[in-house]
Structure 1
Amino acid sequence: MVRFEKQNLSQRMTDELGKAIVAGKYSAEAGLPTEAMLCEEYGISRTAVREAVKMLSAKGLISSRPRQGIRLEPAEKWNMYDTSVLRWLLESSPSLRVLKEFLQMRLAIEPQAAALAAQHGDAVAVDAIGDAAQRMLDAAADPAVDLMTADLDFHTSILRASGNRFFFQLRDFVSTALNVSIQHTTPAKGNVLSIAQDHYKIYEAIRSGQAERAKNLMTHLIDEAMVFIEKEIEKTSN
Structure 2
Amino acid sequence: MTPLPPHDVRSSLGRNLTHGMLDALGRAIVTGVYTGKRFPTEADLTLQHGVSRSVTREAVKMLTAKGLLSARPRQGTIVQPAESWNLFDPDVLGWLLDRTFSLELLRQFNELRIAIEPAAAQLAERNAGDAGLAAIRAGYARMVAAEAGEDDPLDADIAFHVAILRAAGNPFYAQFEEVVTTALRSSIRFTNRFKGRSADLAAHGAVLAAIEAADGIAAHRAMQQIIADVLALIVERDRRAEGSAA
TM-score (norm 2): 0.88
Q: Which amino acid counterpart does residue 138 of structure 1 have in structure 2?
A: A
- The RMSD of aligned alpha carbons is 1.8
Give secondary structure in 2 for the equivalent of 1:71. strand
Q: CA offsets per residue over residues 25-60 of structure 1, 9 Å max, x none?
A: 112x43312223323332223222211111100100
Q: 2:210 aligns with which of 201, 205, 210?
A: 205
Q: 2:145 aligns with which of 138, 142, 154?
A: 138
Partner of 2:166: 160
TM-score (norm 1): 0.91
Does the alignment pair 1:215 with 2:223? no
Partner of 1:90: 97
Instruction: Give structure 1 stretches of 5+ with no counterpart.
Output: none
Query: Distance in 2 between the 1:156 and 1:105 partners?
Result: 15
Partner of 1:33: 40
The equivalences for 1:60-75 within 5 A come to 60-75=67-82
Does the alignment pair 1:182 with 2:173? no
The count of aligned residue pairs is 235
Q: Which amino acid counterpart does residue 34 of structure 1 have in structure 2?
A: T
Give secondary structure in 1 for the equivalent of 2:183. helix
Query: Distance in 1 between the 2:92 and 2:143 partners?
Result: 29
Query: Distance in 1 between the 2:232 and 2:10 partners?
Result: 42
Alpha carbons of structure 1 residues 236 and 69: separation in structure 2 relative to 1, 3 Å:
farther
- Which structure exhibits the higher relative contact order, with contacts defined as CA atoms closer than 8 Å and separated by 6 or more residues? 1
- Percent identity at matched positions? 40
Instruction: Give structure 2 stretches of 5+ with no counterpart.
Output: none
Q: CA offsets per residue over residues 106-142 of structure 1, 9 Å max, x none?
A: 111111111111133212101211111122112212x
Alpha carbons of structure 1 residues 232 and 35: separation in structure 2 relative to 1, 3 Å:
farther
The answer to whether the Cα contact below 8 Å between 2:110 and 2:183 also exists between their aligned partners in 1 is no
Query: Distance in 1 between the 2:212 and 2:52 partners?
Result: 56
The answer to whether the Cα contact below 8 Å between 2:142 and 2:151 also exists between their aligned partners in 1 is yes
Query: Distance in 2 between the 1:94 and 1:148 partners?
Result: 18
Q: Which runs of 4+ in 1 moved over 6 A?
A: none
